[in-house]
Amino acid sequence: MRRATALGMALVCASMALPAWAQQEEAVVVPEGPIESPRSGAIVVRAGGYKPEIDKEKALNGATPYKNTFGDSSLLVIELEMQRFFYQGIGTAGVGLSAGYGEKYAAAKLTGGGNAAEKTALKLVPLQLNAFYKFDYAAFEWGIPLVPYGKLGLVYTPWWVTKGDSTNTAQGIKGSGGKWGWAATAGVSFLLDVLQPRFARDFDSDLGINHSYLFAEYSYADVDDFGGAGLNLSSRRWMFGLTLDY
């Protein structure tokens, strides 16, 4: 009888211990904190001024057709870039493809230099294929929200000049074409996740957007067919925008 009683008490104690043991095992298996979805690329939207160096063409011999027509102001250019990540470790590296659009309107000029009744416009579509690297390791591992980065790319920019509703033609030459060149860019991004961490986690779990940034960048672009003749679409410009990692 005593053995049966002892055996029953042992079984009761064992059954009471099982839930606690299961909870301990579960605590070991389930990781703490939010799980971030994998990153594969980014979407970049930016805008800024674009003042082509048309007046620096040697063949103009000091003439300034851009300044005479459009003044000293720049075109407003808006660009969209799609990036693909190929390395994620001590920073992130990959390739990007961007396309943009910019235009500038002014009064067309008469032969005598006066303003015509109709408008003229210079329109550009900057296209760029670039390789990039951004040092985001410090942001993710050390909590420093500033991410410096650099890009180097090949540029092709279609352009055309309109007068009224049609492409301008001067002396039988149509005012349109395209220019090849290259560009180097340096910038710094601010990681917005640090401002609202909970919102950033929800953004990731709901939409797959891992991180978001505001950025400023400076580009040095030579777009003149690598020193060839004709319209010089080179520029030195600041751009500002938003990046979304996904």
Residue pLDDT, tens place only, 166-193? 777 665 567 899 999 999 999 999 999 9
> Which residue has better confidence, 46 or 64?
46
Q: Give tens-digit pLDDT for 189-200.
A: 999 999 988 877
Q: What are the b/e assignments for 192-219, b being 16+ CB within 10 Å? A: bbeeeeeebbebbeeeebbbbbebebeb
Q: What residue segments make up the domains of the chain, in order of their start?
A: 1-30, 41-245
Domain range 41-245, CATH architecture = Beta Barrel (2.40)
For the stretch 98-139, pLDDT in tens is 999 999 998 887 766 677 778 899 999 999 999 999 999 999
Least confident window among 119-123, 162-166, 209-213: 162-166
Structure tokens at 29: 């298996």
Please give the sequence-ordered ranges of beta strands (E in DSSP) within 53-209, or none if there are none: 75-89, 91-109, 115-124, 127-134, 146-163, 166-167, 169-170, 173-174, 176-191
Q: What is the pLDDT of residue 63?
A: 85
Average pLDDT, the chain: 85
Judge whether residue 24 has pLDDT over 50: no
Residue 75 has pLDDT above 90, yes or no: yes
pLDDT (mean) for 40-54 = 96
